[in-house]
């Protein structure tokens, strides 16, 4: 079996004893443990001066973590700059928030070259290289320039926007050309895949046809590759049993006690403007205003740990949410009830699993989201006999697989309030049916399925 080499911007902390945090880390670790291999990426350390460290290697069984540091300027231009102030807002359709500069673009390319310089010497001819996310789109092309002919795949964890939005990027052609240096390009949904093939048809001389084993065969920029949707998922069975035991944990008990019989709506997100948090708070406000019977009977717990705190837009959204929650609480609170419990901190997977289990409604309303794993995690953590209801944005990739959720348009905050009302009053039979149907999907398409289908498709490269 070929060795797998995973490349991602951040490498999950090396801590065998602890559960890896996010969905990506769990999936990558499981894949690497199976085949053995390398996980290469940024260490998370920023050093003064230039990026020039040699990879720091740590072996854990058959798995090698290889990490490099970033210099301050590269961190600013590549990570805070081009990745998070240009590509992230662009890919989430937030044109008003993007900044474009040659300086940050050069930083983005420079760091991709630096990473390629450091990884290329570690590769063996039969390796399979699997690159993750928008930070590293040009990485494969950089490896090819260094003579690497290995099978190489890429997976985009964000949405890909329509060509009309993508062309706002001055270097859109270079970016898509570099995507074509991979043998396999994976997206979350058919919608993202179509955006890619539309771009190939409309903005290049390339051709697109059906691939025999699934996805689309793309011939462009002198290369042949397969582009295909691989919806990411969660470790369903593991979460189910985690939630079952967590339902009796101390944290869960404390949460239940604090509710004194009230119902609970829960939201869990990184603090990011793509997650639609201001609109979500307003939707809850509409619920209390339009359906006053819920006043003092429902609490909304929003967990939102800050992320990307050096980027001005993230400072702004944090301030906006503090003001909004303060205003709404000031308007509706009673001496013994605070409507919104808004927490800027994160919790471990086990604690969150218990919180999901207690909640009557999971409110997941991003304005755009590649997939959204929280939606899937919420469903997997429910008690099947008395499950909570998922209210889910139509703009999350997860909505494509979880049609039994109450699907909402997060911009239409009064309709979201109506959906909350429906969720809070839904009969138990209907809740069970919807939950059972979503669980079927999540059991069939769990994180193992995602990893295996992707690696299997990559094994079949190169495509002709």
The binding site for ligand ADQ (CB under 6 A) comprises: 22-24, 157-158, 232, 268-270, 303, 305, 346-347, 352, 369-374, 377
CB of 429 to ligand ADQ, least distance (A): 29
Contact present, 408 and 419 (Cβ < 8 Å)? yes
CB of 236 to ligand ADQ, least distance (A): 13
Contact present, 302 and 318 (Cβ < 8 Å)? no
Compare residues 151 and 188 and give the one whose CB is closer to ligand ADQ: 188
Tokens of 137: 């789109």
> Please, which residues bridge with residue 225 across strands?
218
CB of 133 to ligand ADQ, least distance (A): 8
- What is the C-alpha to C-alpha distance for residues 16 and 28, in angstroms, rounded to an integer? 14
Helix H or strand E encompassing 130: strand 128-132
The size of the chain, in residues, is: 464
Residue that is written with structure tokens 């993230």 in the block: 314
Tokens of 315: 């400072």
Compare residues 353 and 439 and give the one whose CB is closer to ligand ADQ: 353
Compare residues 157 and 223 and give the one whose CB is closer to ligand ADQ: 157
Cα-based distances in Å from 314 to 23, 282, 348: 23, 19, 23
Taking residue 117's Cβ as centre, other Cβ atoms within 10 Å add up to 14
Whether the bond into 462 is cis, omega within 30 of 0? yes
- Whether 412 is catalytic: no
Compare residues 10 and 113 and give the one whose CB is closer to ligand ADQ: 10
CB of 364 to ligand ADQ, least distance (A): 8
Contact present, 147 and 117 (Cβ < 8 Å)? no
Whether the bond into 428 is cis, omega within 30 of 0? no
Residue that is written with structure tokens 């039969």 in the block: 126
- What is the C-alpha to C-alpha distance for residues 73 and 117, in angstroms, rounded to an integer? 18
Compare residues 288 and 392 and give the one whose CB is closer to ligand ADQ: 392
Compare residues 70 and 352 and give the one whose CB is closer to ligand ADQ: 352
CB of 321 to ligand ADQ, least distance (A): 13
CB of 148 to ligand ADQ, least distance (A): 25
Catalytic residue among 269, 369, 435, 446: 369
Compare residues 270 and 432 and give the one whose CB is closer to ligand ADQ: 270
- What is the C-alpha to C-alpha distance for residues 14 and 59, in angstroms, rounded to an integer? 10
Catalytic residue among 92, 132, 135, 157: 157
- Whether 157 is catalytic: yes
CB of 304 to ligand ADQ, least distance (A): 6
Contact present, 402 and 376 (Cβ < 8 Å)? yes
- What is the C-alpha to C-alpha distance for residues 192 and 338, in angstroms, rounded to an integer? 40
Contact present, 294 and 262 (Cβ < 8 Å)? no
Tokens of 1: 């079996």
* DSSP for residue 54: P
Positions annotated as catalytic residues are 157, 369
């Amino acid at each position: 079996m070929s060795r797998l080499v995973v490349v991602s911007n951040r490498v999950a902390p090396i801590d065998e004893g602890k559960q890896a945090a996010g969905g990506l880390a769990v999936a990558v670790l499981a894949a690497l443990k199976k085949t053995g291999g390398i996980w290469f990426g940024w260490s998370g350390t920023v050093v003064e001066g230039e990026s020039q460290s040699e990879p720091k290697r740590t072996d854990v069984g058959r798995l090698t973590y290889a990490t490099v540091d970033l210099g301050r300027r590269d961190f600013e231009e590549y990570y805070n700059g081009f990745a998070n102030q240009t590509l992230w807002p662009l890919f989430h359709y937030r044109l008003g928030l993007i900044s474009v500069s040659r300086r940050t673009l050069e930083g983005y390319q420079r760091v991709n070259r630096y990473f390629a310089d450091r990884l290329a010497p570690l590769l063996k001819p039969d390796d399979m290289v699997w690159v993750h996310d928008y930070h590293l789109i040009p990485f494969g092309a950089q490896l090819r320039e260094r003579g690497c002919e290995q099978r190489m795949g890429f997976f985009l964890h964000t949405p890909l926007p329509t060509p009309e939005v993508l062309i706002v990027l001055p270097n859109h052609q270079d970016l898509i050309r570099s995507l074509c240096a991979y043998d396999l390009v994976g997206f979350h949904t058919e919608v993202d895949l179509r955006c890619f093939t539309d771009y190939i048809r409309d903005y290049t001389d390339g051709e697109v046809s059906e691939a025999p084993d699934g996805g689309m065969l793309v011939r462009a920029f002198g290369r042949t590759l397969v582009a295909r949707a691989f919806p990411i998922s969660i470790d369903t069975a593991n979460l189910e049993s985690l939630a079952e035991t967590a339902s009796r944990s101390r944290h869960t008990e404390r949460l239940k006690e604090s509710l004194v019989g009230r119902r609970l709506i829960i939201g869990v997100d990184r603090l990011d403007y793509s997650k639609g948090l201001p609109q979500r708070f307003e939707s809850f406000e509409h619920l209390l205003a339009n359906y006053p019977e819920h006043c003092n009977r429902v609490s909304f717990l929003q967990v939102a740990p800050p992320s990307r705190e050096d980027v001005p837009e993230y400072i702004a959204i944090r301030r906006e949410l503090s003001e909004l929650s303060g205003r709404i609480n000031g308007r509706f609170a009673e001496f013994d009830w605070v409507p919104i419990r808004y927490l800027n901190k994160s919790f471990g997977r086990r604690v969150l699993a218990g919180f999901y289990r207690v909640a009557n409604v999971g409110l997941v309303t991003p304005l755009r989201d590649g997939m959204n794993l929280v939606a899937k995690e919420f469903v997997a953590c429910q008690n099947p006999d008395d499950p909570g209801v998922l209210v889910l944005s139509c703009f999350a990739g997860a909505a494509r697989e979880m049609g039994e959720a109450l699907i909402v348009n997060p911009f239409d905050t009064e309709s979201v309030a109506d959906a909350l009302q429906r969720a809070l009053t839904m009969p138990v039979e209907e809740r069970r049916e919807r939950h059972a149907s979503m669980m079927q999907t999540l059991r069939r398409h769990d994180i193992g399925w995602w990893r295996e289908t992707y690696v299997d498709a990559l094994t079949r490269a190169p495509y002709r």
